[in-house]
Amino acid sequence: MSKIRTAFFCSNCGYESPKWTGRCPSCGEWNTLAEELIEKPSKNNKSWNADDDTARKVKTVLLNEIAAGEEKRMVTPDPELNRVLGGGIVNGSLVLVAGEPGIGKSTLFLQNGLLLNETVTLYISGEESEQQVKMRADRLKMKNDRFFLLTETSTQTIFQEIKKLKPGLVIVDSIQTLHSSYIESSAGSVSQIRECASEFQRFAKETGTPVFLIGHITKEGSIAGPKILEHMVDTVLQFEGDQHYAYRILRTLKNRFGSTSELGIYEMTGAGMKPVSNPSEILITQKEEQLSGIAIAATLEGQRPLLIEVQALVTQSVYGTPQRTSSGFDNRRLQLLLAVLEKRGGFHFGMKDVFVNIAGGIKVEDPSIDLAMVSALLSSYEDGALPHQLVFAGEVGLSGEIRAVNRVEQRIAEAEKLGFEKMIISKYNQKGLGKQHFNIELITMGRVDELYKYLF
């Protein structure tokens, strides 16, 4: 028996320290060190292939001599999942799927496991009983005779089962519930999460089996696990969305096998997640009459153009400090745009409450939404509706200039496709477009005051 030992772990970055300090020396966060019971893993106490490990030969190779091979991908029936993974599931990859509780992670991956009827899938559930998973599968109305379920939390037992079953895909729901008996601390603690994930990492790399690890995060992203795991896994997918809306977004935060900032969009229905292939049509509410404070932005999320409705409400402030509330849009960015309008356009937002919202409950990071946001703010400020069938794409700079956006052709094509008639873009985008002809009228502008003159 080796001696039981404790150490302090930072719940933010996973830093290990022999003594407690108020501030983590590694990431600088305050009050994140917590004591955990550990036992230093001795040489051969790993659950995955303990004996093979020492036998494996290590040698240095010349990079040029390594045979180039396309990484093998398993293309799933779910187009959105393929997209965020960069074209399918790569063999031997370790993928972390992080999201708030209740967002639909279990549903999505149960569903995808059931859809893959060519592959033996093992779904490890540490959270739900067999009956619960069965009930959910019934709700999804899917059947698959190569889908196996294991309700177990000990990694030793899990790997025994895996050796017997030899699955082609492993889904772990969730990594926080697992525990390895070589570490003494309780499930969900930093050292456990790290140990369990590294066991799965070794399993994935040695057998070429893809593994999905599901992990919970809280609103602030503060629960330890996923943050630490981000370094260990090949791909990090974040599942997000507003629980009060049906739309869910699967975003790539890190991907060793493809581009990041890819986006998959799903709709939560009574029978599981439905991939949304034409998001722009859904995100724009089709109204007969034009209302003030609404503008359409042509944004780009990853490779994918997305037309989004931006809503703003500007009202007289009743309190001394005016309110600035935003949902789906960065509040500091909103303050910045208001300051630009105040300084460069002479609009007095200082006396007004401002509320902004991105329709559909989605979050937008593309700065090209600025122009639509400014237009929506001006429209509500003036209480006048914007012209019909108009769409915006442009970033707004601190001096009130409208800056060029990347891949403007793609945005124009999307707006064209949805039947918009006019599009306002930066005049600096004009050059790149050359003499191309579009079926949409392009209006180019250099400054926000020109925008105001054009709109009102």
What is the contact surface with ligand TYD in residues (CB under 6 A)? 99, 101-107, 136, 139-140, 268, 270-272
Contact (Cβ atoms closer than 8 angstroms) between residue 41 and residue 182: yes
Contact (Cβ atoms closer than 8 angstroms) between residue 155 and residue 199: yes
Which residue, 268 or 298, has its beta carbon nearer to Mg ion?
Answer: 268
Which residue, 101 or 221, has its beta carbon nearer to ligand TYD?
Answer: 101
CB 280 to ligand TYD: min, Å? 24
**Within the chain, what is the greatest distance between any pair of CA atoms?**
80
Residue 28 DSSP one-character state: -
- Using CB under 5 A as the binding rule, the residues of this chain from 18 to 77 that contact Mg ion are none
CB 124 to Mg ion: min, Å? 12
Query: Mutual orientation of helices 155-165 and 190-207 as an angle, nearest 10°?
Result: 20
Residue 387: contacted member of ligand TYD, Mg ion, none (CB under 5 to 8 Å, by partner type): none
Residue 139: contacted member of ligand TYD, Mg ion, none (CB under 5 to 8 Å, by partner type): ligand TYD
Total chain residues near Mg ion (CB under 5 A): 1
Residue 223 DSSP one-character state: S
Contact (Cβ atoms closer than 8 angstroms) between residue 384 and residue 292: yes
Residue 453: contacted member of ligand TYD, Mg ion, none (CB under 5 to 8 Å, by partner type): none
Contact (Cβ atoms closer than 8 angstroms) between residue 202 and residue 188: no
CB 363 to ligand TYD: min, Å? 17
Inter-residue long-range contacts of 220-225, CB under 8 Å, 24+ positions, other chains counted: 222/11, 222/12, 223/11, 223/176, 224/9, 224/11, 224/12, 224/14, 224/189, 224/190, 224/193, 225/175, 225/176, 225/188, 225/190, 225/193
In sequence order, what are the beta bridge partners of 96? 213, 236
Which residue, 114 or 362, has its beta carbon nearer to ligand TYD?
Answer: 114
Residue 226: contacted member of ligand TYD, Mg ion, none (CB under 5 to 8 Å, by partner type): none
CB 135 to ligand TYD: min, Å? 9
Residue 103: contacted member of ligand TYD, Mg ion, none (CB under 5 to 8 Å, by partner type): ligand TYD
Helix (H) or strand (E) holding 202: helix 190-207
- Using CB under 5 A as the binding rule, the residues of this chain from 95 to 114 that contact Mg ion are 106
CB 110 to ligand TYD: min, Å? 8
Residue 296: contacted member of Mg ion, ligand TYD, none (CB under 5 to 8 Å, by partner type): none
